[in-house]
Structure 1
Amino acid sequence: MKYINQPIRKKDAMQLVQGKPLFLDDLARPDSLIVKVLRSPHANALIKEIKTDKALKIPGIEAIFTYHDVPDHRFTLAGQTYPEPSPYDRQILDRHVRFVGDPVAIIAGETEECVNKALKLIKVKYKVLPALLDFHAAKDNEILVHPEENWRSLCPVGADNKRNLCASETDSHGDVDQILSECDVVIDQVYHTKANQQAMMEPFGTACYMDAYGRLNIFSSTQIVFHVRRIIANALGIPKSKIRVTKPRIGGGFGAKQTAVSEVYPAFVTWKTGKPSKMIFTREESQIASSPRHEMEMHVRVGAMNNGKIRAIDVYTLSNTGAYGEHGPTTVGLSGHKSIP
C-alpha cells in the first residue's frame, strides 16, 4: 500500500509552483531566425501577382517564400492516426487563399524588426472571389472551397470536395419516426453552438534547427509530438527518419494543439536555409488562424413516455469546419455516435 490511497507529488510540482517551467519562446536558440507569415485580407481569392524584391532588400532578411517555392502536394495538419479521417486539403502556401488570415508568404529574418518591415513591403495582387460565409448554404453550392483536383480523402467518411463536404454519414438503429409517433411526449428543438477559441495561456510556437546528423529538429508547444513528425514529413516531402520532434511542458492546449498550427513554417525555413528558426504566434494570430472548436447546429428530436422512459433520439448535425477540414469528420461524428446504443 505504498502508493494506493496515498498522496503522490507530481514530478514537476515544485517547479510549477516556483515558476520554473518555461514557454517555448524562452527555450529557443538565441540565434534563431524570426519567422512570420503574411496573411490574406480576403476570405476567398486567387493570388494574381506577388512581389518580394523590395522586401528582400531589407537588411537582415534571410529568405521570403511564396507558393512558387513550396511543394505542390496536399496534406492535413490534423493530429490523427494514419490514415487520417481529415482530408488532405492543405499546402504550405497556396495560390488560392480561403479565409482572412490564410498564409500568403513566409518571411524569415534576423530580427523581429526587419521581418515586420519586410511584411509591409510585399505587394500582392488578388483576384477576389465570392466567399461562402454561411455554413447553411455551403453544401452543393456553386462556390467551391476546394475546387482543386489534388484534394484527397484517405478514409471513407463521406467527403466530397465538389459538394463542399468534409464528411457525411447516416447512422441509425430502428425506425425512429415510427417510435416517435408512438411517444407521449416529443421534444423537437434546434441548438446552435458557436465556434470558440481555446485561448490557452501560451500561444502556438515552434523552434527548429538542424543537428549534426542532418536531421530537422522541431521543438514545439504541441499535444501531438508523434503526429507532428508525420505531418511535417508529408508537408516537406521528406522521410520521417529525417525529423525529430520534442516538446517542453506546454502552457495549455485544450485540443487546439492537437493540430500542427505553427510547426510547418519554421520547419520549412530551417530545412531550406539550414539555419535555426522560430515562429511564435501573436494572440491575434492564435485567434484568427488556428484550430478553434467547430460551430455546429444540431436538430434534436427526443421521444419519451409519460413514465419517463426515453424511447427515441434523432439528431441531425451540421458542422462548420471552415476553410480546411482538420478534425472535421471526427468532431461532427461525436455529436451523434455517443447517442446511439
Structure 2
Amino acid sequence: MELIALNNNQFISEDEIVNNNSNFIEANTKCVTLNHIKKECIVPVYSDNSLSISHANFIEATKDVVNSVFSNEQISAPNIRVSHIIKGRVPSAITKTVKELLPHEKTIYYQRCAFIIEIPSLRENVNNNHLSLTIGGVRALNQENLYSKRTLEKFKVFIGYKNKVCTNLCISTDGLLIDFRVGSIQELKQKIYELIKSFNKDKFLGEMERISKFQLEENQFSHLIGKMKMYQFLNKEEKVDKLTLLMNDNQISTTVKNYYNDPNFRRDSNGKINLYQLYNLFTEANKSSYIDSNLERNVNAFEFVTGLANSLQNNTYNWFLTQK
C-alpha cells in the first residue's frame, strides 16, 4: 500500500484517498459508482423530451470545479449514494412478463442522489477529531415536474467537513446553497465555484471549537431531550422565538441511545457531554434522513447547537435549557 505525503507532512494511504466506503448517509440508500450511473442508468426527460441534467452530469460538474480550485490537493473519488429506484423497460418488451425480461430490456434510474468529494490533504483538527474538507451535492427528481416542459432545474450543493472518526458531515448555513435553479451545466459549475470561494473555513472551524467549550450535565441533557420531544407538538405561535429544530422523534431517541453507547461522543463518567459531542450525536442521528432532507437537517443541527452555546455563553434565556 503506497503512502502519499500531504502538504502538512502527514501521510495517509493511497487507499484512503481513492476508496471511501463509509456511509455519510444511510436511510434507504445504497452506494453506487459513477460509472454505473453513466453507463447503466437512463436519463429522465421532460414532457417535451428535453433532457434533464443527469446525476452523472451534476457529479462530474462538481468534480471539475473541485479539481480546478484545489488543483494541488489530493482529491478522493466521489462517494455516491442513491435511493428510490425507478424501473422501466424498453418498448419492445412491453408484452413480456417480469420473468421473461432480459437484462438489456430493463431500464432504471434513481430519483434521488447524494454525493461527497473529500479532500484528505486539507485536514483540520477539532476537539481531537480529524476533519477533512468536503464538497458535495444532492439532486432529488421528486422535486422536479418531469411532466411539464423543461424549465430551470433544482440542485443543492455544500462545502463543509467530514469527521474522520464517524463520517458525520459538518455543515453550516454559509456552506450550503439550497434549492438553487440553473438552466445549464455551465451555470451549475458557476454556482458551485461561487459557493466554494465564499466559504469562510476559519469562521466555521472557530464555531466548532467554541461549542466544544460548553458542557451539559446529565440532568441538563435529559431536560433538553424532553424539550426537544415537546417541541414537535407545539403550534406555530408557540414555536416563535424558539430555536428551530428539524429532528424527528426517532432521531431524538437515537441521540439518547448514543449518549450512552457511542464510542466517540458518548457522555463522560460523570454524565457530562460537551456541545461538540452533542452536535456529532445529532449529525449521526441525521444519517437516517432521506436524501432530500438530509442537508437541511444537518445544517439545522449546527444552528441549533450554536444557539445553545450562545445561551450558555451569554447566560440568556433559552426555552430548551431553562427548567423553570
- So what's the TM-score if we normalise by structure 1? 0.24
In proportion to residue count, which structure has more helix? Answer: 2
> Quick one: higher RCO (CA 8 Å, sep 6+), 1 or 2?
1
Structure number, greater radius of gyration: 1
- So what's the TM-score if we normalise by structure 2? 0.25
